[in-house]
Amino acid sequence: MKRHVLERSQLVPRPRDEVFAFFADAHNLEAITPAFLRFRILTPGPIAMGPGALIDYRLSLAGISFRWRTRIEALVPLERFVDVQLRGPYALWRHLHAFEDAPGGGTWVRDRVEYALPLGPLGELAHALVVRRALARIFDHRRDAIARLLPAGGQGPGAAATGPAGAR
């Protein structure tokens, strides 16, 4: 099984506690996921974010609907959390979300996704032809949505989305 890595970094012009709280609320995933995936959280909220938390989703890709279940493997409040796929389209999916104060203000959000596809050589062909580009498109959309939802100065939809709940 060949492992692939996708890494992304984004400067979000908001304090780390607000940014972490936004990401720690699993229901915000719907707001940062492209519409073409028809992504829906199935787990009722609020979801207590912490090691062992299970989150169920439904999404659609190329007209095929499927369920995805992740487990929060680790969480260090205000610093990082890791979700791993228990059921879904990948043979392996481990997503590290890390948060750190940026010099001069704001928060660096760093993603590191380690993933592998099933089906051996056929999965690798799918990766080369479709999956690599699809993941780039998804994470590009995510970057743009985060910039729109968490703008500088706490204005816009992100202010309401983060709410007073804080990090869990």
pLDDT tens column, 88-132: 999 999 999 999 999 999 999 999 999 999 999 999 998 999 899
- Radius of gyration over alpha carbons of the chain, in Å? 16
Write the class of the CATH domain 4-24+72-162: alpha beta
> What pLDDT sits at residue 166?
33
The string of DSSP codes covering 68-106 is EEEEEEEEETTTEEEEEEEESS-SEEEEEEEEEEPTTSS
CA pair distance 22, 99, nearest whole angstrom? 12
Q: How many residues does the chain have?
A: 168
What residues of the chain score a pLDDT lower than 70? Answer: 154-168
Alpha-carbon span 78 to 134, nearest angstrom: 29
Instruction: Write down the pLDDT at residue 62.
Output: 72
